[in-house]
Amino acid sequence: MSRRLLALTLALVAATPLAARAQERPGIRPIVPPTRFYIDITGVLEVPHDQFSNYVGNGGGLNVGFLARLSRNGAALLRLDAGYLVYGRETRRSCLSETVGCLITVDVTTSNDIFVAGIGPQFMVPRGPIRPYVTGTAGLAYFFTHSSIEGSNNSEPFADTKHFDDLVFAWTGGGGVLIPVRGGRTPILIDLGARYHDNGDVSYLREGSITVQPGGSLLIRPIRSRANFISYHLGVAIGL
């Protein structure tokens, strides 16, 4: 071993305890361990794909995810997702009842909705200013259509009726990036991503699928098709 290499080795050995003590000094920030859990809240833009796009337009909603760290370095996580999407909505003015006629009118809103839930892995780059990730889940998609009644000065509906629903197995796959905006033991990251939702064949309603017949009865015309879509996500992930 050359004298220069020997001197460098001795210097490193001597510096190691000094560096360890320096981390304990006031004002020196300790290394923060990887966050164990995240709650992920994102706004969602739903874009219908393939056959679904022939019948409905874009929708939107909210998704809430819970992530638990599986690997020690935070690169592998378990993801649990739940989301609520609206892909169609129409409101019409109507008389409250035949008894009072149109002395009292109400707003009748018919909404076409999807509730999605799934569980699966997420793999991500655990460090850096931009952290790409990929994720996939298996679970359920619940398509349902319901109508609610609100008065002119009411902010909450006082009656609600479900007209049609269908529950199917569903899986998702996608990815995105996490951008840290705050560190420490409660980190906050911007979540920007996209996922493909494969729901298979679904029976569902769209705007115009329900017609009020003379006498007040309803004519319901469901559609049966593949109901896959792409969801675009923007929100925040908060470490717990």
What pLDDT shows up at residue 153? 62
Q: Give the other-Cβ count within 10 Å of 85's Cβ.
A: 22
Q: 37-94, pLDDT tens digit by residue?
A: 999 999 999 999 999 999 999 999 999 999 999 999 989 999 999 999 999 999 888 7
DSSP three-state, residue 90? strand
Instruction: Give the CATH number of domain 3-239.
Output: 2.40.160.20
Q: 176-219, pLDDT tens digit by residue?
A: 999 999 988 899 999 999 999 999 999 999 999 998 888 778 89
- Write down the pTM of the prediction: 0.80
Q: How far apart are the C-alpha atoms of 100 and 112, rounded to whole Å?
A: 29
Residue type, 93: R
Query: Is the separation of the CB atoms in 191 and 176 below 8 Å?
Result: yes
Distance in angstroms between the alpha carbons of the first and the last residue of the chain: 50
Query: Is the separation of the CB atoms in 84 and 61 below 8 Å?
Result: yes
Q: DSSP string spanning 92-146? A: EEEEEETTTEEEEEEEEEEEEEEEEEEEEEEEE--SSSSEEEEEEEEEEEEEEEE
Q: Residue 138: which of 178, 70, 78 has the closest Cα? A: 78
Q: Which residues have C-beta within 8 Å of that of residue 25, sequence separation ≥ 6? A: none
Mean pLDDT of 140-161: 80
For residue 123, count CB atoms less than 10 angstroms from its CB and return exposed for 0-12, middle for 13-18, buried for 19 or more: middle
